[in-house]
């Protein structure tokens, strides 16, 4: 499998004059710094200020606990504010094969969890009136091969029965009413799915957390947690230490050795996204007439969506096994984008950014504890809906509001092989999956 080499001279042809290596989301809502004083003691310390951590902090405050959220970076500034922010109700585990290891009862439990998670995010938009550009626009899954399209009818049945959503299977000809491309071989449309503005959502969660009395400290890496007499924990950070009754790690793809057993169980995988410059409405109407969310069936999948304003396209993928910087990544992603939409060849790229996705061995979410220190992790590339729910669930179990163990803490949380600063096996996996996608593409060409 050959790839064209990175050509730096292409920067003069595909990049907008004011190109930025940061999320386009930050144009409207930028992650922020905040420095509350470190308290001597608090009921709950949450490590990580993404959707999961902030939602967990809000839940603790609702239950009458004091809460502090700390982050090594700005508040909401890591994966949550960098994601594609496409909302779904459990399609990832239903369509990627993870469910095959679950019996019928567990599959029903997991489907209900994801349905509840979607409703929670929708309630933040509708009941709490959070400024987050919530759109129930529908999501279209696109078959990268004719063989993949043959599986859509069964997947539609599973999604309808287990997740309670409305599905439609589209032939290749019918697909032309949905998307302006002949690149794909069929589609599966789920009408209830949609998207949000992730940076606005994270900031809205942070503001609600503060309004309820929560404390925030940004740019303060937690270095370790130790248990002392009486079941209390000493939390050591770069800016000092404090005592806490409970500690929750919601660090996902940015987990480090502050909780070493957790780091062995999540693999940080960098995903990249580009945003186009603003485009005329007529061109957007041609390529995305219904402004839905989109992803394909490749193993190294491509995912894309319109901006909330409907005048840009955001396109995400893993560009190749090894990438040096965002400008190099943008060259490959623009090439992928124009494979899908050749009519966008002259459209410039205005932004390109990256963020770490937390992948688990089973591609499912997990909550639990190591030595009494709790965790809630496993976005697996579809965390916009499930992670806020996961943070609340972890707190409910921690404080005994939910008496029965959740399925997400009963599942075996398998380790990855040991790795240093970065997981050595991720580029190898990307190469392997890319090779299988290439074989599928060549086989499709023969047919």
Domains located in the chain, CATH noted = 8-441 (3.50.50.60)
∠ Cα 253 67 201 (to 5°): 55
Q: Tokens representing 222? A: 């937690």
Q: How confident is the model at residue 11 (pLDDT cuts 50, 70, 90)?
A: low
pLDDT of residue 2: 41
pLDDT of residue 422: 80
Looking at residues 249-255, what average pLDDT do you find? 96
pLDDT of 8 higher than 90: no
pLDDT of residue 13: 87
Distance CA 359, CA 366 (A): 11
Q: How far is CA 429 from CA 169, 359, 420, 424, 434, in A?
A: 31, 12, 17, 9, 8
Q: How confident is the model at residue 314 (pLDDT cuts 50, 70, 90)?
A: very high
Yes or no: say if 252 and 358 are a contact pair by the CB < 8 Å rule: yes
- Who's near 36: CB < 8 A, 6+ residues apart? 68, 215, 216, 217
Looking at residues 177-192, what average pLDDT do you find? 94
How much is the mean pLDDT over the chain?
90
Q: How confident is the model at residue 262 (pLDDT cuts 50, 70, 90)?
A: very high
pLDDT of residue 48: 98
Q: How confident is the model at residue 31 (pLDDT cuts 50, 70, 90)?
A: very high
pLDDT of residue 366: 96
pLDDT of 94 higher than 70: no
Q: pLDDT, tens digit, for every residue of 158-168?
A: 888 877 788 99
Strand partners of residue 304: 294, 315
pLDDT of residue 9: 47
């Amino acid at each position: 499998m050959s790839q064209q080499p990175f050509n730096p001279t292409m920067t003069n042809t595909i990049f907008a004059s004011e190109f930025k290596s940061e999320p386009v989301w930050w144009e409207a809502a930028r992650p922020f710094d905040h420095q509350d004083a470190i308290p001597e003691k608090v009921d709950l310390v949450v490590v990580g200020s993404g959707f999961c951590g902030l939602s967990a902090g809000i839940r603790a405050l609702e239950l009458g606990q004091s809460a502090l959220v700390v982050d090594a970076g700005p508040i909401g500034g890591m994966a949550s504010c960098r994601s594609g922010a496409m909302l779904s109700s459990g399609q990832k585990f239903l369509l990627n094969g993870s469910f095959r290891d679950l019996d019928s009862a567990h599959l029903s439990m997991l489907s209900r969890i994801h349905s509840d998670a979607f409703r929670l995010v929708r309630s933040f938009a509708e009941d709490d009136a959070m400024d987050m550009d919530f759109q129930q626009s529908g999501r279209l899954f696109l078959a990268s091969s004719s063989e993949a399209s043959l599986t859509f009818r069964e997947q539609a049945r599973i999604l309808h029965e287990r997740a309670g959503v409305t599905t439609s299977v589209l032939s290749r000809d019918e697909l032309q009413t949905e998307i302006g491309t002949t690149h794909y071989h069929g589609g599966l449309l789920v009408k209830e799915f949609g998207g949000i503005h992730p940076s606005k959502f994270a900031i809205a969660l942070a503001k609600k957390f503060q309004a309820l009395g929560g404390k925030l400290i940004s740019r303060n890496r937690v270095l370790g947690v130790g248990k002392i007499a009486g079941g209390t924990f000493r939390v050591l950070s770069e800016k000092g230490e404090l005592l806490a009754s409970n500690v929750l790690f919601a660090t996902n793809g940015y987990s480090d050795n502050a909780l070493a057993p957790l780091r062995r169980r999540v693999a940080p995988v960098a995903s990249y996204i580009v945003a186009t410059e603003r485009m005329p409405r007529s061109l957007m109407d041609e390529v995305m007439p219904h402004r839905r969310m989109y992803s394909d069936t490749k193993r190294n999948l491509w995912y894309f969506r319109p901006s909330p304003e409907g005048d840009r396209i955001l396109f995400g993928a893993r560009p190749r096994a090894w990438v040096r910087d965002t400008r190099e990544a943008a060259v490959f992603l623009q090439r992928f984008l124009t494979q899908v939409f050749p009519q966008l060849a002259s459209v410039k790229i205005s932004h390109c950014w990256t963020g770490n996705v937390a992948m688990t061995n089973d591609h499912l979410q997990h909550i639990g504890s190591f030595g009494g220190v709790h965790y809630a992790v496993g976005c697996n590339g579809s965390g916009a809906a499930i992670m806020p729910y996961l943070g609340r669930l972890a707190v409910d179990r921690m404080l005994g509001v939910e008496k029965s163990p959740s399925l997400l803490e009963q599942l075996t949380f398998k380790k990855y092989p040991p790795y240093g600063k970065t997981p050595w096996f991720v580029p190898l996996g990307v190469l392997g999956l890319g090779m299988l996608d290439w074989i599928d593409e060549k086989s499709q060409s023969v047919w």
